[in-house]
């Protein structure tokens, strides 16, 4: 797990003035990565780092050779910058934790120094468009919140909401990488087989129970060779960073199809991620102890370590908001639906990686893991409408006067995440949003 170093100094300030504002997601202590280009100019996509309301163009830095003086290891930093100039971050991710840290340290020095030579490499975020930051070869979605698993299980199995294996093994399924898009995704309401209550036969219909899932995405960096497991003590060095993730779900399609093999068409039509990946190194000040109740089974040895117990959780606020078409037309601000925290997760990032590879499965640079819906211990911390409306039985009344059990056409769902701690700046993940369109013909 990353140790604190000079990049975490809470007193650091940047010559990019917007990075010094207390409400920014992107102070100099953050420096998250994305792939971007200036909108409308036909440029190639390339890597960038957020600083305040600007993007530091890493391809331009590499071409201008303005970073070498700020680097302790110029060769390693030059290789990292060259990799970041490509249209995906896969090559940079594959370089490993030493390269990620070296580049981040050099960028911190450059942006906090008095030399503003890099100013020519700044692009306003308002002028940019983004794409998925890596070529995602595989996507696995987990079920890591016990509060979500229990609440959903209670809807279908009131007497036995949590299946017996849940507290022993991180549950996951393989999703569809091809339908993952970056924030701003618009998608048509999906169709699927649905078996309405009281009918004998299923019908092909547009989903009537479209939902969101408030999740954290985990981007794999170096990965592992086929047949070689990643031990829990090394798992986080294989993780490049975290993003926000919305795993859109058609609950009525899911209810009919998920037995015996789990989700399929109910979840593979759209997944939306934030453009910014916050490195695990940036999150080091916001780590928390990972705990497991003494009443619960303790993890098997391959899923446990003193390091995990000491600082395996991440104190990260997560929030979901809705903006209906009516609210947009009236100029109303989005309304918060719920807020939770990633530290409530029953299974940690390192446990997800260690378990995924214990059978020899090979993770590769750019692979994505989803945490599963991150709900907290109270009803107000639920990370989906399925929970917030108790399976659609208790509609929510919005400030616009509208009601929702599940998402309507025109609804926009917005997820945000951030870390804050006394004595340290707030660092954020930006936001991820997507909009539901009417079903196609």
CB neighbour list of residue 401: distance below 8 Å, 6 or more residues apart: none
Q: Please, is 165 exposed, middle or buried when counting C-beta atoms within 10 Å of its C-beta (0-12, 13-18, 19+)?
A: exposed
Please report where in the chains the tokens 């970041």 appear, as a residue.
84
SS3 call for 141:
strand
**Interatomic CA distance for residues 420 and 30, integer angstroms:** 12
* Strand partners of residue 39: none
SS3 call for 303:
helix
CB neighbour list of residue 325: distance below 8 Å, 6 or more residues apart: 408, 409, 410, 411
**Interatomic CA distance for residues 222 and 94, integer angstroms:** 5
CB neighbour list of residue 361: distance below 8 Å, 6 or more residues apart: 226
SS3 call for 93:
helix
**Interatomic CA distance for residues 46 and 133, integer angstroms:** 9
**Interatomic CA distance for residues 404 and 385, integer angstroms:** 9
62 is catalytic: no
Closest by CA to 247, choosing from 326, 158, 181, is: 181
- Range 284-309 burial, b when 16+ CB lie within 10 A, else e: bbbbbebeeeeeeeebeeebbbeebe
From 8, 11, 62, 148, the catalytic residue: 148
Q: How many CB atoms lie within 10 A of CB 126?
A: 8
* β-pair type (271-273, 180-182): parallel
CB neighbour list of residue 164: distance below 8 Å, 6 or more residues apart: none
CA distances, 230 to each of 219, 223, 313, 337 (Å): 15, 8, 19, 37
As annotated, the active-site residues are 148
């Amino acid at each position: 797990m990353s140790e604190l170093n000079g990049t975490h100094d809470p007193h650091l300030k940047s010559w990019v003035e917007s990075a010094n504002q207390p409400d920014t997601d992107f102070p100099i202590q953050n420096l998250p990565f994305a792939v971007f280009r200036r909108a409308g100019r036909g440029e190639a996509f390339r890597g960038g780092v957020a600083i305040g309301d600007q993007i530091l163009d890493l391809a331009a830095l590499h071409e201008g050779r303005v970073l070498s003086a700020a680097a302790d290891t110029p060769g390693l930093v030059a290789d990292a910058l060259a990799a970041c100039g490509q249209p995906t971050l896969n090559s940079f991710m594959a370089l490993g934790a030493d390269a990620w840290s070296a580049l981040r340290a050099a960028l911190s020095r450059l942006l906090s120094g008095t030399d503003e030579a890099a100013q020519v490499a700044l692009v306003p975020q308002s002028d940019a468009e983004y794409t998925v930051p890596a070529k995602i070869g595989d996507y696995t979605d987990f079920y890591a919140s016990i509060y979500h698993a229990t609440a959903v299980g209670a809807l279908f199995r009131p007497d036995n909401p949590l299946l017996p294996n849940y507290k022993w093994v991180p549950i996951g399924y393989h999703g569809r990488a091809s339908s993952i898009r970056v924030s701003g995704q618009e998608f048509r309401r999906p169709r699927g087989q649905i078996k309405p209550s009281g009918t004998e036969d299923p019908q092909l219909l547009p989903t009537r129970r479209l939902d969101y899932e408030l999740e954290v995405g985990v981007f794999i960096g170096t990965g592992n060779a086929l047949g070689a497991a990643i031990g829990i003590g090394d798992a986080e060095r294989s993780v490049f960073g975290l993003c926000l993730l919305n795993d859109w779900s058609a609950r009525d399609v899911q209810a009919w199809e998920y037995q015996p093999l789990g989700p399929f068409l109910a979840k593979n039509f759209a997944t939306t991620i934030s453009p910014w990946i916050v490195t695990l190194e940036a999150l080091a000040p916001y780590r928390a102890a990972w705990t497991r109740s003494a009443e619960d089974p303790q993890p098997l040895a391959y899923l446990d370590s003193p390091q995990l117990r000491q600082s395996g959780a991440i104190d990260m606020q997560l929030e979901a908001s809705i903006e209906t078409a009516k609210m947009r037309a009236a100029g109303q601000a989005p309304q918060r639906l719920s807020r939770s925290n990633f530290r409530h997760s029953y299974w940690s990032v390192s446990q997800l990686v260690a378990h995924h590879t214990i059978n020899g499965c090979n993770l590769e640079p750019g692979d994505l893991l989803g945490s599963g819906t991150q709900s907290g211990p109270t009803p107000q911390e639920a990370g989906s409408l399925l929970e917030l409306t108790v399976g659609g039985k208790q509609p929510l009344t919005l400030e616009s006067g509208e009601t929702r059990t599940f998402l309507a056409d025109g609804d926009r769902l917005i997820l945000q995440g951030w870390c804050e701690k006394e004595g340290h700046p707030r660092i954020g993940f930006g936001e991820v949003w997507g909009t539901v369109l009417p079903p196609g013909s």
